[in-house]
A and B are shown apart, each in its own frame.
Chain A
């Protein structure tokens, strides 16, 4: 990528939309970017809210860990090509340990016999230190329970990443940054936008928003057979946004892949996890899509225009995680004649033996499950039927693992002490993390970058 006041379109591809995304997805994206020629970058969004808290726990257990566990698998197939063809890599795969991730990338480059890449880390998101915790404590409603505290991270923006790219970084490893900032950063570096170029910042932010969930804009999370058909969903291609100097973009996808990009996929993803369309808040800008338009301009090519930008807010969002006790889930299946009646009887047995001490959520999978709520209002309103393949699921949470353990023992005991023909018992217990969010003054938590 050449830096500074360019007018040539910048192509930004997406290599991952969450931690655990398909590791064979970035290959076709990189190949497409190379064939296209011209300035390009690829982003990796691999850091859901909870993923970072889990990474913090992993780092506490081993100080060399705490970055994305799939990092090597994701980068190995594409690292040489990206470096050779000047495709900037930006990813939040640093998670709780960006420097650990950077060290891994250097190891990988050595192993592949590549020239030492210029790797930068973007930092300033981690607010777990004692002085930063004070800032969080002041911002957090209800105070900060130190005994249960796990980690706190602010959502940083694009400018520190952009500075790193301008300073020559080929790869920028970040911790917590706003997802669309991963895309906005290379656009800022490429076009030389200023801090107050609100419309351009907002346009590229929404391009980033369209990219940040990987296949969700190119046919994933979309297919509804007979209504919204998607070709070759098994090989769905990951998206690429061609960003123009005015911040507008055309969304497309990797060549020779399945999936589709059309007005419908782009509209769905444009509004995904958006509340007020006139005020999409990021650390970089307040984006306004209330007058945005999409137009199909070619096969698998959709143009997004009309995004406006407004000045960024004086605060940054921070996520604070606490120990959230234990979650227990147990399941048992009933099939054949009378299955639903037997599953419902098993439910009554669990309620009678455990439900008085511990609130239970019930699902009758095959009758009523995920649409229901935790107090089973919808399940209780569902007419008793005669379903013949029903799986009872019982879920509960408690600070004390002993309560959850007892529930799971009782579920297991349905095997011999429950209704006839019950089989396929599975039980699982997991530690939970609970989340509180707050707003911290941005000047108190500056973003930084460093070459490593």
Chain B
């Protein structure tokens, strides 16, 4: 990639996310603010990269479902909640905070496609 044409940004700059739990499984949605970024999310935020980001929780399986009409994807990570809400010792036994761990992944965004977040325009 040509450095001049791309800028590396955390996912949080171009997408938002929400985590939910069922038993020992978490699902984290990842939704592009701007549908034009959807393709680069598909290309760069692969199940492998997500598995790597959550490797310390030893997911037994990471599945990615694509929702192009919503410019969104849904990640399902198995066995990452230390047994889930009834067994985990975590303060956040639901794993609610994990969406922001996903959003810490960085992606390469073409300079021409950089979004103006509300923060930048404020």
Contacts and interface: CB of A to CB of B under 8 A. Distances in A.
Interface of A: 49-50, 221-222, 224, 226-229, 264, 267-278, 289-294, 306, 324, 327, 361, 363, 369-374, 377-378, 381, 393, 395-397, 432-435, 437
B35 to A, nearest CB: 10
A227 B118 contact: yes
A51 B78 CA distance: 24
Contact of B29 (A267, A381, A396): A267
Interface string B80-122: 1010111111111000111001000000000000000111001
B37 interface: no
Contact of A434 (B20, B70, B72, B86): B86
B31 interface: yes
B69 interface: yes
Contacts of B92: 370
B44 interface: no
Contacts of A50: 85-86
B18 A374 contact: no
A264 B91 contact: no
Contacts of B18: 221-222, 268-269, 271-272
B74 A277 contact: yes
Interface residues of B, number: 43
B49 interface: no
B20 A272 contact: yes
B87 A267 contact: no
A254 B7 CA distance: 42
A272 B63 CA distance: 15
Nearest to A306: B69
B91 A290 contact: no
A273 B56 contact: no
A374 B88 contact: yes
Among B63, B69, B101, find the residue whose CB has the most chain A CB atoms closer than 10 A: B69
Among A270, A373, A381, find the residue whose CB has the most chain B CB atoms closer than 10 A: A373
Nearest to A213: B20
A327 B90 CA distance: 11
10 contacts: A50-B85, A228-B16, A268-B29, A270-B70, A271-B70, A275-B74, A324-B86, A378-B56, A395-B90, A395-B91
Contacts of A267: 29, 31, 70, 72
Among A49, A275, A369, A437, find the residue whose CB has the most chain B CB atoms closer than 10 A: A275
A260 B25 CA distance: 29
B31 A268 contact: yes
A226 B117 contact: yes
Contacts of B84: 435
A370 B90 contact: yes
Contacts of A277: 65, 67, 74
Nearest to A359: B89
Interface of B: 12, 16-18, 20-23, 25, 27, 29, 31, 33, 56-58, 63, 65, 67, 69-70, 72, 74, 76, 80, 82, 84-92, 96-98, 101, 117-119, 122
Given A224-B16, A274-B74, A435 B23 contact: yes
A47 to B, nearest CB: 14
A277 B91 CA distance: 29
Contacts of A224: 12, 16
B87 A324 contact: yes
Contacts of B20: 272-274
Given A270-B70, A393-B91, A227 B117 contact: yes
Contact of B21 (A273, A276, A363): A273
Given A226-B117, A371-B97, A49 B85 contact: yes
A53 to B, nearest CB: 9
B89 A264 contact: no
Given A275-B76, A324-B86, A370-B91, A268 B16 contact: yes
A381 B122 CA distance: 37
Contact of B86 (A269, A276, A291, A432): A432
B86 to A, nearest CB: 5
Nearest to A221: B18
A227 B65 contact: no
B71 to A, nearest CB: 8
A434 B87 contact: yes
A420 to B, nearest CB: 26
B16 A369 contact: no
- List the 7 closest A-B pairs by CB distance, nearest first: A273-B20, A226-B119, A271-B29, A370-B92, A361-B89, A395-B89, A374-B82
A271 B29 CA distance: 6
Nearest to B87: A434
A433 B86 contact: yes
Nearest to A263: B70
A361 B90 contact: yes
B89 A291 contact: no
A377 B91 contact: no
A222 B99 CA distance: 11
Given A267-B29, A275-B27, A363 B85 contact: no
B70 A274 contact: no
Given A271-B72, A273-B21, A277-B67, A227 B89 contact: no
